[in-house]
Structure 1
Amino acid sequence: MLDSNAMRVLSSRVLTALLLASVLQIVIFPVAGPLPAWRSALSWFALIPLLWMLLSAGAAWTMRQAALVGYLNGVLWYLGTCYWIYFTMHQYGGMAVPVAMLVMLLFCMYLALYHALFAVLLHMVRRAGAVYALMAAPFLWIAVELARARVTSFPWNLLGYSQVDNAVLASLAPVTGVYGLSFVLAAGNAAIAAAIVLPRRRVATTVALVAAVIATGVQNFGWMMQAPIRHGSQKAVLLQPNLSVTGGESADAGTLARSSAGLSLQASVLDDSPARVILWPESPSPFDTQKPGFVSTVSGLASETHAPVISGAVGYVQDPSIQRGYRVYNSALLFKPGSGYAARYDKIHLVPFGEFVPYANLFSFASGLTQAVGTFDRGSSRATIDADGHRYGVFLCYESIFSDEIRQFARNGAEVLVNLSDDGWYGDTSAPFQHLNMARMRAIENRRWLLRDTNNGITASIDPNGRVVETMQRNQRGAVAVHFDYLSDKTFYTLHGDLFAYACTLFAIALLAYAALTPRRAVD
């Protein structure tokens, strides 16, 4: 329960600002479809209500009161952007409505601690003055975003993803990663917020007006001056089987593989150009390395099309050193023409409560979901999959949201990125569109084509500028021929990773140390 001090903090003005901050931070990401330009533009203002609460309305707040406001903002934001957690847990995890809602709420309450952390850090630097705090805000924001990726491994919807279609800001990504976009947006918010945080300062008003003009120019120019969509010269065939994630398919592995092979073969011969690679996605199919019908069918498809096939499947490896005698992986299998099953990538970043249960004894209520998809072992290598003289960087499902991990494939020589995913777990929510935008940023950061093959959508080819070039309609069964190119240049981000984010974090620590040694300023 909120104590009396907390209730005094939540005045009508603060409550209004809290709701406005939460709504603005929600609508700058896909909600029920692709993100329109006008909502993306709101990202330049999404943090302003939060900054006003913490630096102006809350100038006299205690650290606990500042943390409370930041925390409530975080809870509301996660509820608005990750509401699909409820859908997944209820529809496919077999949880009753109250239990699924409780899981979603606990999820949001846990991750909202990052918003509380930002509020606490900003409150700490506020002692050196509001001007100092506004200057520190973008560095603190990046430090918290980096923690979201490194500590709890859920960097979903970082601020910079709202500008994946902004050609000006996206040009930073090959150097800074998505964090550079987040930094510019946070800095823009802080500069514009100066007008209301420091209302009686003419310089602050001028800075805010200049920042608003620059933000308007960057937003409009970035959306209007998009680079032309690039058209690749190589052909890939992407299968979209549209299988039910509840496992209701009646066909056995061999029959389903033959049906899928037929769709892939049909798409591969629609024009005279040869397919360079055929992709089958991660899906709830009965495909695994121990099903001879599946293995022989895919091997035959590779030989018939003279193209390697990369297929999502369950990989089994005998291991007498463990109790059950084998390891099981969520894998991408490579089948080569003439030689069949040749190599495997094993997923490293597993989905909590989907592919494994952390602290399983404490979370036994999630067994419905984990039983549906199995308990997997972690892979250990981000080596490329090599076929036909080319190198593919293959990663599975939500591994695509980890920028520093995906860039390692390009650093290791991948000429094209391949994302095999089953987004059917999300249903018809915002998550498939959010997931797509995060995958698009990986293409921009590494200047690679990205072939995204999914169970039920969004299946697409994405050019090195993050533009969706060719796609297939969601929730349809079939296969589509798309085009791409092999590229080998390495970006600064590919080679050095999150260097910019770590530099911001170190600078944030220095700012905090300076503020701690500075006598508190009562007024600005």
Structure 2
Amino acid sequence: MAIKTLGTRLLKRLRDNLLNKRNWLSFLAGLSLVLAYAPFSLWWLMLIVLPLFLNSINGADVKTATKQGFIFALGWFGSGISWVHVSIDQFGGLPLFFSLLLMVLLCCYLALYPALACYLSTRFAPKKKFSLWLLPPCWLISEYLRANLLTGFPWLSIGYSQIDGPLSSFAPLIGEIGISTLLLVISIAVINTVYNHYRKTHILLVIAVFTFAYLLTSVAWVTPINKTITAALVQGNVEQSMKWQPEKEWPIQLKYLDHSRENYDADIIVWPESAVTALEPAAQDFLSMADRSATLNDSAIITGILDYKYQSKTYFNSLIVIGKKESSDDTGHYRYNHSNRYYKNHLLPIGEFVPFGDILRKIAPIFNLQYSSFTRGDYIQPNLVAKGVHLLPLICFEIAFPEQLAANFTDQTDILLTVSNDSWFGDSHGPHQHLDIARMRALEFGRPLLRATNNGVTAIIDHRGNIQATLPQFTEAVLKADLELVQGKTFYSQYWQFIHWLLPIILLILFFCLYPMLNKKT
């Protein structure tokens, strides 16, 4: 009887939630945010949707604010990372019901963080009512947790939506995290101006932010050094289903080498993640041949390859340099285990390592993908050197972690390099979002960036975060362009730790000190 009563109550609560108009409005508001990101790039939409949602929960109690924050984020991530389902559905080996269930669980997990921000903004606010001005520091705290807990998943941070908007000029100063903060501040000021009577303080704040953004466009954070290099990025467009078939090993590798031979006038040639489809110890003949060929033609090749250490029985997702290391040296430098290499540190859950693998690998093929037991490389590693150019490498997902890039950024770093194999995500918006994340890193750190992928989006990006050249997706081609090198450091690249740690603390202090003034009608 008790179980029946409990079931009836749960069904009634579910029905009430499904019929609740406020829940649907929050969900649809979050759902629409996907349009603010690539490939749609309607950056201004964030400045409309975010204020509308925050105004809907302004003054709400703890339960309501937390619940609506969760529902809003469920729509936000449900549409924004729907590309994850492509890999689960096509390569996971799960029935549709279970693949959709995994996606729902992932979105529910990610939605906990914005819900936490809404909870904190209410729980510690005066009168236990949702406070708009307490949200920015609480949001930054929740986003820090999202980027770090359980290896972290900082995808779709709201600042990335502004890479093509006027607020992007703040990136070299305060980074994407600072842009996210400004979006919240602007949204709050708009709410207090439009919905809570006219307030001179708030409208002046919005005007000041955009005026400062305009002035920052004229700031030269770095300066050209009157040196250019020619880069060629090879997009092999290899089908994921064919990539690791033994009979395709040599044809795939020769494809990359043939494209490179046609472009040896380039200083640096880049192949994408795991372009060489043989383990490095077993690919010595091919790598030696490519090394001699590149060196003879005064060029260097950087390629993704998987390494296997027989003694420790460990796999690494790596990048290696073959051919010219220094422009003045005319001999090949590649040898197995040479130091001019990079081992991926930030591994992708499920794809590159499986938590509780002994249990999960027995459940479904998605937990037992080929080469899903990688070992982490060191967090800090030397830059790669190719023909005298220093490149800071990041593989795939790592480009979403500015802290890792900053930890490896040196005075000698000339170029940022990221390689990926986004064929896991098909014709979805995932690769386009990935590209915009890379653009934000280039702008934050004031360095040109090379992005080589298997099937797109392959791109060459200048130090201002602008796409200099790109290739169409799902084509086999080579992207070649001259890249201007620069020197100097942006404010963010030097003081990112203070920005990441002090920004939420400063906002909290300002909230409690200025709260009466910020809410004063003028």
1:344 is matched with 341
Displacement, 1:437? Answer: 0.2
- Gap change, CA 1:95 and 1:20, over 3 Å in 2: closer
- Gap change, CA 1:487 and 1:301, over 3 Å in 2: farther
CA–CA separation in structure 2 for the residues paired with 1:213 and 1:505: 23
- Gap change, CA 1:6 and 1:186, over 3 Å in 2: farther
1:46 is matched with 49
Paired-residue identity, %:
26
TM-score by length of 1: 0.84
- 1:105-120 matches, within 5 Å, as 105-120=104-119
CA–CA separation in structure 1 for the residues paired with 2:35 and 2:209: 18
- Gap change, CA 1:344 and 1:89, over 3 Å in 2: same
Q: Output one character per residue of 1:379-403: Cα deviation in whole Å (capped at 9) or x when no partner.
A: 0133211233221111101101001
CA–CA separation in structure 2 for the residues paired with 1:484 and 1:393: 15
CA–CA separation in structure 2 for the residues paired with 1:175 and 1:164: 14
CA contact (8 A) 1:25 1:77 kept: yes
Larger deviation: 247-256 or 297-306? 247-256
Larger deviation: 284-293 or 78-87? 284-293
User: Structure 1: which amino acid aligns with 2:45?
Assistant: L
**Secondary structure, in 3 states, of the residue corresponding to 1:352?**
coil
1:271 is matched with none
1:282 is matched with 273
**Secondary structure, in 3 states, of the residue corresponding to 1:340?**
coil
Displacement, 1:74? Answer: 1.5
CA contact (8 A) 2:158 2:180 kept: yes
Displacement, 1:121? Answer: 1.2
**Secondary structure, in 3 states, of the residue corresponding to 1:470?**
strand
Structure 2 residue runs of 5 or longer lacking an equivalent are: 1-8, 325-331
Q: 2:40 aligns with which of 25, 32, 35?
A: 35
Q: 1:238 aligns with which of 229, 233, 236?
A: 233
User: Does 2:33 correspond to 1:25?
Assistant: yes
Which structure has more relative contact order (CA 8 Å, sep 6+)? It is: 1
- Gap change, CA 1:394 and 1:129, over 3 Å in 2: same
TM-score by length of 2: 0.84
1:430 is matched with 429
**Secondary structure, in 3 states, of the residue corresponding to 2:369?**
helix
- Gap change, CA 1:80 and 1:474, over 3 Å in 2: same
1:139 is matched with 137
User: Structure 2: which amino acid aligns with 1:44?
Assistant: L
CA–CA separation in structure 2 for the residues paired with 1:82 and 1:361: 28
After superposition, the CA RMSD in angstroms is 3.3
* Moved beyond 4 Å, runs of 4+: 1-13, 206-219, 221-227, 248-252, 508-515
- Gap change, CA 1:496 and 1:241, over 3 Å in 2: same
User: Does 2:442 correspond to 1:443?
Assistant: yes
CA contact (8 A) 2:444 2:492 kept: yes
User: Structure 1: which amino acid aligns with 2:266?
Assistant: A
2:503 is matched with 504
CA contact (8 A) 2:449 2:461 kept: yes
Aligned length: 490
Larger deviation: 135-144 or 449-458? 135-144
1:300 is matched with 292
Q: Output one character per residue of 1:156-210: Cα deviation in whole Å (capped at 9) or x when no partner.
A: 01111111113x4222212211111111111011111224663xx443xx55655
CA contact (8 A) 1:400 1:442 kept: yes
Displacement, 1:2? Answer: 5.9
- 1:203-222 matches, within 5 Å, as 203=199, 206=200
CA–CA separation in structure 1 for the residues paired with 2:124 and 2:439: 35
CA–CA separation in structure 2 for the residues paired with 1:469 and 1:123: 45
CA–CA separation in structure 2 for the residues paired with 1:216 and 1:388: 42
- Gap change, CA 1:216 and 1:339, over 3 Å in 2: closer
User: Does 2:88 correspond to 1:89?
Assistant: yes
2:405 is matched with 406
Displacement, 1:84? Answer: 1.1
User: Does 2:204 correspond to 1:178?
Assistant: no
Q: Output one character per residue of 1:400-451: Cα deviation in whole Å (capped at 9) or x when no partner.
A: 1001111233236321111111111111001000000000011011100101
User: Structure 1: which amino acid aligns with 2:344?
Assistant: K
